[in-house]
Amino acid sequence: MVNVMIATVGFESEPLIIGIQNFNIKRMILIREVAPPSEVKKVENLMASTFGNVIDIEIKEVDNWYDILSLVDLVTYLIKSEYDKNNQVFVNITGGRKTASIGALLGVFKNVDKVKEVFYVTEEEHGIMPLPKISWTLQRTKYNLLKMISEGMSDIEVLKEELEISRTMTYTHLRDLKDQALIVETPNGYELTLAGKLLLI
């Protein structure tokens, strides 16, 4: 078993070094933009020159820091891949743009049972601030309903037949999904919000 740190990368190396020291990291996966600023490249090069002989360092590039869906998808994939290798996964959301941190955190929320710790390194004291691991999942029927809506199904009769529940229960589940801001009702039927799409990753 190896301690792995998945980390978003910014302009500072300290959050990465602190994570390495506190959690005995032996493998590090750095998430950064495809064409990062020179400051980010300096951090990456420093990590390679300082720790490259003792820590396996891998770089994962993202096309767009603002594409939260892709970030959640990537972090979910990385967490599952490392967990399946029996590694302990630590997620450091300190570096990079705020959207990168949000994407990484939401990826953790989708995989809380596979993450040992998610944390932020404070700027002032360079201390570890553990973050809550909130499980972000749906009950099976609501999940299936969300999936069907994502596939373009909106007709109540079709939905209730597919789910094998009553019309009343179908409406109740739809109302709950709307209340949770996971779907919206449009003139053409129901559509997933960004939050709804994230839950299906």
pLDDT of residue 30: 98
**Residues 137-175: pLDDT tens digits?**
788 999 999 999 999 998 899 999 999 999 999 999 999
Tell whether 10 and 60 lie within a shared domain.
yes
Asked if pLDDT for residue 134 goes beyond 90, the answer is: no
Give Cβ neighbours of residue 123 (< 8 Å, ≥ 6 apart): none
Q: Of 73, 80, 123, 81, which is closest to residue 103 (Cα–Cα)?
A: 73
Residue 128: the pLDDT is 95
- Across 105-114, average pLDDT: 92
The reply to whether 26 and 98 lie within a common domain is yes
Shared domain for 19 and 85, answered yes or no, is yes
pLDDT at 194: 83
116 lies in the same domain as 174:
no
Instruction: Render pLDDT for 24-77 as a digit per residue (tens, 0 to 9).
Output: 999 999 999 999 999 999 999 999 999 999 999 999 999 999 999 999 999 999
Band (129; pLDDT cuts 50, 70, 90): very high
Residue 183 inside a domain? The answer is: yes
Residue 149 CB coordination number (10 Å) = 21
Q: Are residues 19 and 106 in the same domain?
A: yes
Tell me, rounded to whole angstroms, the distance of Cα 39 from its chain centroid: 24
Q: What pTM value is reported for the model?
A: 0.81
Distances in Å between the Cα of 103 and the Cα atoms of 48, 63, 193 are: 25, 14, 16
DSSP character for 112? G
The count of structural domains within the chain is: 2
Are 104 and 146 in a shared domain?
no
Q: Which pLDDT band holds residue 15 (cuts at 50, 70, 90)?
A: very high
CATH assignment of the domain containing 151:
1.10.10.10
Query: Would residue 135 count as lying in a domain?
Result: no
Shared domain for 86 and 126, answered yes or no, is yes
Could you list the residue range(s) of the whole structural domain that residue 114 is in? 3-130
Question: 125 and 26, same structural domain?
Answer: yes
Q: What is the pLDDT of residue 135?
A: 77
CATH number (domain holding residue 24): 3.40.50.10770
Residue 77 has what pLDDT?
97
State which of 112, 130, 148 marks the end of a domain.
130
107-127: average pLDDT: 93
Q: Are 119 and 93 in contact (CB under 8 A)?
A: yes
Domain match, 28 and 60 both: yes
Q: Is residue 67 part of a domain?
A: yes
Question: From the centroid of its chain, how far is CA 113?
Answer: 13
